[in-house]
């Protein structure tokens, strides 16, 4: 196990003898997981009868019985003992700096139940979500960002095991997991927080596509910008999402499902809605290229699905896979020459979302949807997530 420098003394102390309270608080430590919020009679009893019929599930509307909470308190040495208790409202100072200055970041991941063996529970590349959470915390100057990622994965795994009856069975069904870190720092000064609450809630979800793929129509014609170099576009912070609502509402009024966010004088593509974006092009020499914009500018969220699609497509060795700048004029030209073969968004919620149209400077650029590559990526990633297809080492993690 690779430990961050801040965690190492704690881990060693734990191995050598029982760690002192002072040092044990520095890191997230799954072995001190407490379930003491509930009276013994109710402790860790799940009641999935409150779950609506799985066909009626709507994203993020119902929550499982329990939540994980871990406090970070600078004056008590850092991370405190993790607790799994009942899902309940938070008690927070109205002065908490998460409510005033957006000191909030989060993750989105899923737990999957094998269709053939309901005791086979899995996470998909959770290490990447932990790394991104740590980066988001760091970007907001939150202390404790160098937590032990494996320990937090173990705490989340325990939460999923406790509420496993809330994972609906069937391919496409899963338990959405929402780790969140808010500042509980109860003062109005604009400053690095000294106290945090990391909490994890879970919500059963159904397939994104109830009856076949639903391609989306995008517009780039908006006065708003989602992210820029040096900003927070590459971190999963709440402040990236609030400013997109007005733009999305305006796009919906004009008949478009989502915004394809562009940046800079050359109209470089960044992301679509809250997804990464891919284009399959036929190059002028006749060969194919799968293109997604690069992470180098810092204005794109490093998606787990994005990384997985890149790595998967590289193993196929059938076409070039490029992380490179791609502009709207290039996309328009390829479409006019019938060389834009497919386009899709990629993210945990839907895996892939086919794109059928992009509005650019008043013109609707039509794109063939849904193509073979979009279907293949969807089928292969889902197969790996549910343990039906053997994926690369470490992708589908049994818990």
Ligand X SMILES: Cc1ncc(COP(=O)(O)O)c(C=O)c1O
- Binding residues for ligand X, rule: CB under 6 A, are 108, 271, 274-276, 301, 303-306, 347-348
Burial of residue 91 (CB within 10 Å: 0-12, 13-18, 19+) is: exposed
Minimal distance, residue 302 CB to ligand X, in Å: 8
71 vs 380, which CB is nearer to ligand X?
380
Cα torsion at 203, 204, 210, 216 (round to 10°)?
Answer: 20
- Residue 189 near residue 48, CB atoms below 8 Å: no
**Residue 317: left (phi > 0), alpha (psi -120 to 50), or beta?**
left
CA of residue 332 relative to chain centroid, distance: 30
267 vs 271, which CB is nearer to ligand X?
271
Minimal distance, residue 86 CB to ligand X, in Å: 27
Q: Closest Cα to residue 258, out of 266, 270, 267?
A: 270
179 vs 347, which CB is nearer to ligand X?
347
DSSP category for residue 395:
S
How many C-beta atoms surround the C-beta of residue 66 within 10 A?
Answer: 27
7 vs 274, which CB is nearer to ligand X?
274
Minimal distance, residue 306 CB to ligand X, in Å: 6
Minimal distance, residue 225 CB to ligand X, in Å: 13
- Residue 216 near residue 374, CB atoms below 8 Å: no
96 vs 130, which CB is nearer to ligand X?
130
- Residue 192 near residue 141, CB atoms below 8 Å: yes
Tell me the C-alpha distance between 191 and 188, whole Å. 8
118 vs 394, which CB is nearer to ligand X?
394
Tell me the C-alpha distance between 133 and 119, whole Å. 28
186 vs 302, which CB is nearer to ligand X?
302
249 vs 285, which CB is nearer to ligand X?
249
The contacts of residue 313 (CB under 8 Å, 6+ apart) are 290, 319, 321, 377
Minimal distance, residue 85 CB to ligand X, in Å: 26
Minimal distance, residue 301 CB to ligand X, in Å: 4
Spell out the alpha helix ranges (H) of the chain.
8-16, 21-24, 97-101, 126-139, 149-162, 244-253, 304-316, 328-336, 372-385
Q: Closest Cα to residue 237, out of 246, 250, 227, 247?
A: 227
Tell me the C-alpha distance between 342 and 158, whole Å. 40
69 vs 276, which CB is nearer to ligand X?
276
Minimal distance, residue 227 CB to ligand X, in Å: 8
Place of tokens 């994926």: 391
Minimal distance, residue 236 CB to ligand X, in Å: 6
Beta strand ranges found along 38-82 (DSSP E)? 66-73, 78-79
Minimal distance, residue 352 CB to ligand X, in Å: 10
301 vs 373, which CB is nearer to ligand X?
301
Residue with nearest beta carbon to ligand X: 303
Minimal distance, residue 260 CB to ligand X, in Å: 12
Tokens of 308: 């997985």
């Amino acid at each position: 196990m690779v430990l961050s420098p801040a965690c190492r003394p704690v881990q060693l102390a734990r191995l050598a003898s029982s760690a002192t309270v002072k040092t044990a608080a520095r890191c997230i430590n799954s072995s001190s997981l407490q379930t003491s919020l509930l009276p013994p009679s109710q402790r860790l009893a799940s009641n999935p009868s409150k779950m609506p019929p799985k066909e009626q599930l709507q994203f993020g509307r119902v929550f499982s019985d329990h939540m994980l909470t871990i406090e970070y308190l600078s004056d008590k040495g850092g991370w405190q003992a993790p607790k799994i208790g009942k899902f309940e409202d938070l008690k927070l100072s109205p002065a908490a700096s998460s409510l005033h200055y957006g000191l909030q970041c989060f993750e989105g991941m899923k737990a999957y139940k094998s269709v053939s063996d309901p005791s086979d529970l899995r996470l998909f590349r959770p290490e990447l979500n932990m790394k991104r959470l740590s980066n988001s915390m760091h970007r907001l100057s939150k202390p404790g960002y160098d937590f032990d990622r494996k320990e937090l994965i173990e705490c989340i795994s325990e939460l999923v095991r406790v509420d496993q009856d809330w994972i609906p069975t069937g391919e496409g069904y899963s338990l959405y997991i929402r780790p969140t870190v808010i500042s509980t720092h109860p003062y109005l000064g604009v400053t690095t927080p000294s106290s945090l609450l990391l909490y994890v809630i879970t919500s059963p979800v159904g397939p994104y596509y109830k009856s076949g793929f639903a391609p989306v129509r995008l517009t780039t014609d908006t006065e708003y910008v989602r992210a820029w170099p040096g900003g927070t576009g590459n971190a999963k912070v709440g402040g990236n999402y609030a400013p997109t609502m007005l733009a999305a509402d305006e796009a919906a009024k004009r008949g478009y499902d989502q915004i394809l966010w562009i940046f800079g004088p050359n109209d470089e593509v960044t992301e679509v809605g809250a997804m990464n974006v891919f284009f399959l092009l036929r190059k002028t020499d006749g060969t194919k290229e799968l293109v997604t914009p690069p992470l180098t500018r810092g204005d794109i969220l490093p998606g787990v699905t994005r990384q997985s699609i890149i790595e998967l497509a590289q193993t196929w060795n059938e076409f070039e896979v490029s992380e490179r700048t791609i502009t709207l004029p290039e996309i328009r030209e390829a479409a006019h020459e019938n060389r834009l073969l497919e386009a899709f968004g990629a993210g945990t919620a839907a895996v892939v979302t086919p794109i059928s149209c992009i509005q650019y400077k008043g013109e609707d650029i039509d794109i063939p949807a849904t193509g073979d590559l979009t279907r293949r990526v969807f089928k292969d990633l889902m197969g790996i997530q549910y343990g039906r297809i053997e994926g690369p080492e470490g992708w589908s993690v049994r818990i």
